[in-house]
């Protein structure tokens, strides 16, 4: 087919920012158009699932799948695209490790539905109606995908060739990956690409003082940090010590802390646990009560340390007792 690569992109359980990130390669989009045929990209071009089903297996040269697996539709399309693709990439933090949507793993299907459809301040639902997988109507049966108790990353349901981290991946890294596919210079399958083999701290230009200790933690809006000093040593939780580098430290360049969207650093099994260890080493106290006070200054520990990777962590999800149906607020609190 005119010598170009067949390209596909799909949007699972995510915000859709990764779709837009591809456009951040800017004028290189014209170069990309000379290299690929778009054979499936629902957010950009009108394709149907049946179009993919009709393709021969391995017809797609490169598929970028962004988003986690939240429901049966996500799972079915992931399996379909795996069969049809030569190279399938988990594109972005949600596909790689679950991302922000996986924070809902502190609850379950019933708890999520109760919060969203029954208890939210803006909801009017006197009849207590909840989404149903099958609803008979005079025009025929209406079907919705099955909503899973637990969100999982893409690699839990299909084999993933490469992992491209970020929320969203940095534009220059996206282009580097596309070039590697075109030239056939990709690394071993299973590798993280579009990132570095070191931590974000290793590429950060801020000055660190290894002897510095912290008496109080702050949220970013509570203080104006000094622009040249390590944010973590100023009491602002910065995920750099536990996070893979490669984003160009864009948040830190804007005087904001790293949130951890490039996932665990090389050799780190659990990003949140690694960061907890780093924070513990900074606390300047031997008094248990004072330590508790200092730690209490960290708002939303789960959302801070596991913001992008709860479903790929050692925790994976909250352990719920039989019959429990907590709301998200109850589970987090």
Torsion sign across C-alpha atoms 290, 232, 235, 209: positive
Reported as a single tens digit per residue, the pLDDT across 9-62 is 999 999 989 998 998 888 888 888 888 999 999 988 999 999 999 999 999 999
Residues 142 and 238 in one domain: no
Q: Is 314 inside any structural domain?
A: no
Residues 69 and 91 in one domain: yes
Residues 92 and 188 in one domain: yes
Q: Is 313 inside any structural domain?
A: no
Residues 172 and 86 in one domain: yes
Residues 164 and 75 in one domain: yes
Angle subtended at Cα 267 by Cα 264 and Cα 273, rounded to the nearest 5 degrees: 55
Q: How many residues does the chain have?
A: 333
Domain limits for position 130: 107-148
Residues 284 and 230 in one domain: yes
Residues 224 and 86 in one domain: no
pLDDT for residue 321: 55
Residues 88 and 113 in one domain: no
Number of domains in the chain: 3
Q: Is 234 inside any structural domain?
A: yes
pLDDT < 70 regions, the chain: 1-2, 319-333
Dihedral angle at the C-alpha atoms of 181, 261, 157, 64, nearest 10 degrees?
A: -30
Residues 207 and 245 in one domain: yes
pLDDT for residue 309: 93
| Residue 186: other Cβ atoms inside 10 A | 16
Angle subtended at Cα 121 by Cα 115 and Cα 125, rounded to the nearest 5 degrees: 70
Residues 170 and 138 in one domain: no
pLDDT for residue 329: 42
pLDDT for residue 266: 95
Domain harbouring 81, CATH code: 3.40.50.700
């Amino acid at each position: 087919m005119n010598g170009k690569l067949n390209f596909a992109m799909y949007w699972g359980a995510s915000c859709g920012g990764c779709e837009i990130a591809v456009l951040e390669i800017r004028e290189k989009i014209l170069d990309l158009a000379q290299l690929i045929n778009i054979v499936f990209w629902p957010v950009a071009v009108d394709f149907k699932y049946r179009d993919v089903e009709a393709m021969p297996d391995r017809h797609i040269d490169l598929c970028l799948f962004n988003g986690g697996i939240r429901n049966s539709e996500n799972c079915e399309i992931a399996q379909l695209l795996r069969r049809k693709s030569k190279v399938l990439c988990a594109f972005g933090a949600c596909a790689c490790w679950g991302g922000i949507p996986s924070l809902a793993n502190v609850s379950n299907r019933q708890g999520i539905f109760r919060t969203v459809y029954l208890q939210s301040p803006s909801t009017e639902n006197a009849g207590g109606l909840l989404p149903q997988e099958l609803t008979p109507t005079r025009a025929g049966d209406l079907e919705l995908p099955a909503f899973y108790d637990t969100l999982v990353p893409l690699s839990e349901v299909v084999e993933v060739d490469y992992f491209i981290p970020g929320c969203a991946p940095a534009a220059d890294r996206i282009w580097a990956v596309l070039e590697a596919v075109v030239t056939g210079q990709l690394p071993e399958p299973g590798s993280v690409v579009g990132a570095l083999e070191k931590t974000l701290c290793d590429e950060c230009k801020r000055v660190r003082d290894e002897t510095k200790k912290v008496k109080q933690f702050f949220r970013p809006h509570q203080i104006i940090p000094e622009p040249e000093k390590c944010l973590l040593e100023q009491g602002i939780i910065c995920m750099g010590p536990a996070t893979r580098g490669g984003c160009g430290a864009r948040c830190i360049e804007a005087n904001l802390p790293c949130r951890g969207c490039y996932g665990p650093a090389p050799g780190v099994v659990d990003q949140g646990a690694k960061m907890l260890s780093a924070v513990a080493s900074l606390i300047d106290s031997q008094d248990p009560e004072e330590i508790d006070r200092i730690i209490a200054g960290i708002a939303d520990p789960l959302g801070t340390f596991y913001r992008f990777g709860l479903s790929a962590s050692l925790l994976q999800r909250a352990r719920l007792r039989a019959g429990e149906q907590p709301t998200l607020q109850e589970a987090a609190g």
